[in-house]
Amino acid sequence: MSTSSCPDKSKLAAYLLGTIPEADAEIVAAHLEQCTACEATVASMEGLSDTLISGLRQPPYNNPFRPEPAYQQAIAELRRLEVGGGAGASAGGSERAQAASSALGELDDYRLLEKLGEGGMGVVYRAVHNRLEKVVALKVLPSRRVEDEVAVARF
């Protein structure tokens, strides 16, 4: 493919960050399947990141209060309130929270809480691991791209 029809570096960067419109992202993705020069440019930009990705790459926060009994008790109480609704929680509030969390559904071991963003390579959700009760950012490849081996490999 001729380099005159190649997207510029800023468009490739926006594609990697998921900040371009979906239609443009599909065009760039199709172009990357055909153009080795742009594929190499994208590979060299893999370190490019936004604040969400940077935060996810950071090591877990080492909370100095974690070993303290009062901290452990507070966390246990919060988990009890979150799961059972607690004695002080209104029934309506608990039902609304359950309805909201189940509205997006589950994906394997994760309960989807909210959609954080969407880009050319997928959708990012705030989710909770069902067993570990850990909040995570979960990136999901769009269903229309699942059959695309190149998209799956890059994902």
CATH code, domain carrying 155: 3.30.200.20
Domain that holds residue 73: 59-103
User: At which of 68, 83, 103 does a domain end?
Assistant: 103
| Lowest mean per-residue pLDDT among 28-37, 72-81, 87-96, 144-153 | 87-96
> Would you say residue 95 has pLDDT above 50?
no
Say if residue 135's pLDDT is above 60. yes
Whether 79 shows a pLDDT value over 50: the answer reads: yes
CA geometry: angle at 49 spanning 23 and 147, to 5°? 45
pLDDT of residue 88 exceeding 70, the answer is: no
Q: Please, are residues 155 and 135 in contact by the beta-carbon 8 Å criterion?
A: no
Q: Are 41 and 63 members of one domain? A: no
* Alpha-carbon span 57 to 55, nearest angstrom: 5
pTM: 0.35
Confidence category of residue 37, pLDDT binned at 50, 70, 90: very high
Using a pLDDT cut of 90, give the percent of the chain over it.
8
- The total domain count for the chain is 3
